[in-house]
Amino acid sequence: MTDHYEALGVDRSASTEQIKKAYRKKARKLHPDVNEAEDAEEQFKALGRAYEVLSDPQKRQNYDATGDPDGRAAGGFGGASGFGGFSDIFETFFGGGGAGGGPASRTRRGQDSLLRVRIDLRDAVFGTTKELEIETAVTCSVCDGSCKRPGTSSSTCPDCHGHGQIQRPMRSILGTVIQTQTCARCSGFGDIIEDPCQECDGQGRVREQKNLKFKIDAGIDRGNRIRLPGEGEAGLGGGPPGDLFIEVDVKPHEVFTRRGDDLHAAVTVPMTAAALGTTISMDTFDGDEQLEVKSGTQSGETITLRGKGVAHLRGTGRGDLKVHLKVETPGQLSEKQKDLLRQLAEEREEEPGESTTESKGMFSRLREAWESI
């Protein structure tokens, strides 16, 4: 069993304030959401047990005298005898946190927070760093989370004598049992802060603006969340802060559409350029790219630029950029242009109104064969 003083990293002569500061410092490092060690959760629990005992004067005295890990006095709770074990049987029915539960801690972990940020598609492709100003709860700098005015200390509750709970005998059909209730005077904390910090009103934390800088990885997509450990709200009584989650939204782009890790774009090509072939310039996220449109390109064909899409969020490399070609048929034509097209049709032996597909050509040949009979 680990010694409680060793778990907190303090001497046996440490003051209550030194014990609280040591707990807050180690709790931030050992919290399972921050510490990725396999035994982080067990270390954090051991730290909590050590603080629960050593922060309570009576339990600490009992621990120093008997070595009991829960800070219990020899012979039962608070030296009481007779009903110590008997009352435990009935605590489920008569309330309370148990005869040996001890006072509640004022130190509590802060809440997690959620923010939403909107980024450009380019930032999703390559990643970026953002800086935001947010309002959140931070540990009070005046009392350092102790909830007390600097230079003052809390006093042991005279009603529960620091236990946080009060036991009262109660008559029942089974005889006299002990009813355990949370102390109303100290709200179960076991001590009373008579001179709370005026800066935080005895909460151990205040709200203020702070700048936050964070990284957005390349490949992030709409709806993904970024977890920033310890950037949430500070806890009550100097407790460790929660986590901050940032949900990402991506603005629509005027040219490119994302599908998975591929980017898609539509480019309109004049009919003559598609027929003759050409090279067109396209502005991409990687700079200017030259697209070769081959002679005879049909509407709906795709040109793929490998590795010009979105970075893979998990893994290496990038998706592709797929450019979909749309052949534009001219609308209004001058008489000269119409004559030129008629000449082209005659040159290609095309008849207006007839399809040039293979199936239509077959029907034309069947008709010619029928007429020749």
The pLDDT of residue 181 is 86
Give the pLDDT band (50/70/90) at residue 101.
Answer: low
Domain boundaries, the chain: 1-74, 253-329, 339-373
> pLDDT tens for residues 251-265?
999 999 999 999 999
Q: Is 143 annotated as a binding residue?
A: yes
Q: How far is CA 293 from the centre of its chain?
A: 45
pLDDT of 184 over the 60 cut: yes
> pLDDT tens for residues 217-259?
999 999 999 999 999 999 999 899 999 999 999 999 999 999 9
Q: Does domain 253-329 have CATH number 2.60.260.20?
A: yes
* Domain 1-74, CATH homologous superfamily name and number: DnaJ domain (1.10.287.110)
Model pTM score: 0.60
> pLDDT tens for residues 321-354?
999 999 988 878 788 877 887 887 787 777 655 5
The pLDDT mean for the chain works out to 82
> pLDDT tens for residues 45-78?
888 888 888 888 888 888 877 777 887 765 444 4
Give the pLDDT band (50/70/90) at residue 309.
Answer: very high
Q: Is 147 annotated as a binding residue?
A: no
* Fold matches, 1-74 and 253-329: no
